[in-house]
Amino acid sequence: MDFPLLIRHRLRELGTEQRDLAAAAEVTESYISQLLTGKKAPPAPERTDIYDKMEAFLRLPAGKLATLADLIRTDALKRKLADAPAPLFKEMRELILRKCAPGKVQPIRAMFEKEPFGALERLVTQKLLDVVKRVTNEELNDKNWLRLVARLSDRSYKQIRVMVLDILETDIFNVSAENCVTFLDPLIESWDIDLATFGMEIVLNRRLAPGHPKKFEFVEREPAPPVDEEPGLQAFLQDPSLRGDATAEELAFLKKLKFTRKRPTPLYYYRELQNLRDPLHFAARRPRRRWGNGASNRCPWLVVLVLLLAVFQPPARVGATFSSREFAAWIVTADPTDRLSLMYRGNDWNVQYAL
């Protein structure tokens, strides 16, 4: 039994209608109708929760609809690969050119029209679509984000849930003008391309996709030379008494060590591993000191000083010596109106009160 037939059969058995199924799946009734008539292919099971909701409503075994949907998607992919690609919709090309950097619109338009859906137009469209799909996939389960897109595109939440599945399934050969108006238009703020290197910069709408502009470049690189493991390293890895419980991170460090003339022995790698684990070879990160203002942070020397001032007749100046830690705790409790004389000697602070 195929996907649409099974759904219709269960709807009849349960005495329910398509609109009830649509409400349970949180999609539009039109979308359910298009699924059942074959006008829309079922979405990929890993990208949506629609099958879980439909199976629960239709009282079907878990995974039944997803399995049937995969079969339909596989057949549709085979047919699509056999068909020749069609050019882009005119509305989509105009939208892409409208988002282009102002100084590049005319030359790029001329290139697009000279070779409709040629290499440059496919490259630009593919990169823009990749960015839109990446952002959409990241926000797929965020209802607030979906409602914001719905508000910006003047659509309902249920319509956006359906259209999200469409945009994630589409490619440059099948993208529709509706996909562009709903997602590409609000998401893409602008784009620019270097016609010499074909490097692209895509600026996103910060309300929908906060972050830095996306950059795509084509860089010519020399092939990396083959990496041969040192014989000493191989022997070290094969000897459990030397390798011990070395972690993957430690082994990756040992493999990155380079040598020109001398060839290291297994014992060298063993000693290098011990050096890597020795805490004396690495400076510990010092915790940030926090200054408090509670009673527990007040310096006991200050209490003694106050008692002395209250009991005895003080001389013209009264002093106290604090360690750095005691001084840091005391200074936050000191009266800013006091006349103080501070002197730092060695690791100690000498504080003189002027009376």
Instruction: Judge if pTM exceeds 0.85.
Output: no
- For residue 1, what pLDDT is reported? 60
189: nearest Cα among 95, 93, 105, 119? 95
CB atoms within 10 A of CB 136: 22
Look at the chain and count its residues.
355
Please state the three-class secondary structure of 84-129 as a single string. Answer: CCCCCCHHHHHHHHHCECHHHHHHHHHHHHHCCCCHHHHHHHHHHH
Decide: helix, strand or coil at residue 222: coil
Instruction: Kindly calculate the radius of gyration of the chain based on its CA atoms and give it in whole angstroms.
Output: 35
**CATH among 1.10.260.40, 1.20.1050.10, 3.40.50.2300, 3.20.20.120 for 3-82:** 1.10.260.40
For position 174, what pLDDT does the model report?
72
What are the start-end ranges of the H helices in 115-222?
Answer: 119-138, 143-152, 157-169, 177-179, 185-187
Structure tokens at 302: 């200050």
All structural domains of the chain with their residue ranges: 3-82, 90-216, 231-281, 295-354
Ranges of the chain whose pLDDT falls below 70: 1, 77-89, 117, 211-213, 216-228, 284-355
Residue 42, pLDDT score: 85
In the Cβ-directed half-sphere of 95, how many Cα atoms lie within 13 Å? 23
Neighbours of 286 (CB within 10 A): 6
Residue 182 DSSP label: I
> How confident is the model over 166-189, as pLDDT tens digits?
888 777 777 777 777 788 888 888
Helix 143-152 to helix 157-169 angle (10° resolution) is 100
